[in-house]
Amino acid sequence: MAAARLMDSEVVSLAKVSAAVWAASFCARLAAANLRPGAPRLAALLPVVALFCGIPFSFSTTTFRGSSAFLLSWLGVFKLLLLAAGRGPLDPSYPLHQFVFSASLPVKLRQFTSAKSKYVDAAADDKSAAGKILVSGAVIPVIIYLYQFKNAMSRYQLLILYAGHIYFSLQLLLAAVHAVIHGVLGMEMEPQVDRPYLASSLQDFWGRRWNLMVPAILRPSVYRPVRARLGVAAGVLAAFLVSGLMHEVMFFYIMWRPPSGEVTAFFLLHGVCTAAEAWWAGHAGWWRPPRAAAVPLTLAFVAGTGFWLFFPAMIKGGLDEMVLRECQGMVAVMEQSGRWLAGATNVTFATR
C-alpha cells in the first residue's frame, strides 16, 4: 500500500509539473519572439531556467527525479541558454505544442526530402521503437529479479547488471517517448542510441552512438565556441568536462549527496583519450587497428573505466539500493493493479 500511495503522489506531482512546464515554456516562447538574442532575452528566460532547475525536487522517487533532472535541468536549461543566444534547437516560430515538447523532451524535429521518405522513415522508426519497447520490457524484469542475488555476485558481475539496467531503461524510456511524440502529436524524433556495441572508437561511441541528445546539445553550447577560440582539442576537453560536471549534478538530484568527483574524472579521462584519438587519426599514414579489433578495444576501454570510476560513484551513493526498492515498489503496484483488474473482471462476469 505504501508503494501505491507513493506512486499516486508521483502521478499528482507529474501533473502539476507538466502544467508548470507548459506555462513556463509559453512564457519563454513569448519572450524569445519579442526580444532579440542577447542579455534582454537571457534575463527574460532566467526565471524559466530557475524553474527547470527546481522541478526535480518536486518528486520523491529516483526514477522521476532523475528523468526530470536530465530532461529539464540539463537538456532543457541548455536549450534555453542557446535560445537566449539565438541558437540551438528551439525556435519561437514553432507552434506552442512543438516548442513545449522540444524544450522538455529529447525531441529533434526531422526534415524529410519527400512525402515518401517521411512515410518510409516513420514506419521504420515505429517498428524500431516497438521492438525496443518489447525487448526492454522483457529484459528489465529479469534484471530486477536478479538483484535479489546481488550479495552472491562479484563486483564486476554486479556492475554489468547495473550497466544493463541503465542501457535497457534508457532504451525503454526513449522508445516510449517516441511512441507518444509520433503517435499522438505527429512529430518525429532523431534516434537517441545507435547500437553503441558497434562503436569502433571513442569518437564513434560518444559522438554518434550513445545518448545522442547530449552531444547534440554540447556541440553548439560548449564545443564549437571553445574550438573557435582555443582549437579542437580544447573544445573536446571542455565538452567532456561540462558533461562530467552535469553528470555530477544529475547524481546530486537523484541521491541528494555532494559530488565525489569520480564521474567528472571519468569524463575528463575520456575527453583526453578522445582528443588524443582524433589527433592520431588526423595523421595520415599512421597505423590504426582494423575494425574487428577496434570495436572490442573501444568497448573494453569504456567498460573498464566505467567499472573503475563511473559505477562506484553510484554504489557509494546507494543509488543501486534506491532503484531496487523503487523497482520492487513498482512491481508491487502492478501486482495490486492486476489483482484489482482481475477482481473487477470476475465481478462483471458474475453479474451477467
329 torsion bin: left (phi>0), alpha (psi -120 to 50), beta (else): alpha
According to the model, what pLDDT value does residue 160 have? 77
Task: Provide long-range contacts, Cβ within 8 A and 24+ apart, for 284-288.
Answer: none
pLDDT score of 349: 47
Position 117 scores a pLDDT of 45
For 237, the grid coordinates are 576537453
pLDDT for the residue 108: 63
Provide the pLDDT for residue 293.
Answer: 92
> What Cα–Cα distance (Å) separates residue 262 from each residue in 65, 136, 160, 206?
21, 29, 18, 18
- The pLDDT averaged over each successive group of 10 residues in the chain (352 residues) is 64 91 96 95 96 93 87 95 93 89 76 47 59 80 79 76 75 72 62 84 92 90 95 95 95 85 95 92 73 93 90 72 63 53 50 54
Confidence (pTM):
0.80
Q: Provide the residue ranges of all domains of the chain, joining segments of one domain with +.
A: 22-107, 115-188, 194-320
Sequence letter at residue 105? L
pLDDT at 151: 78
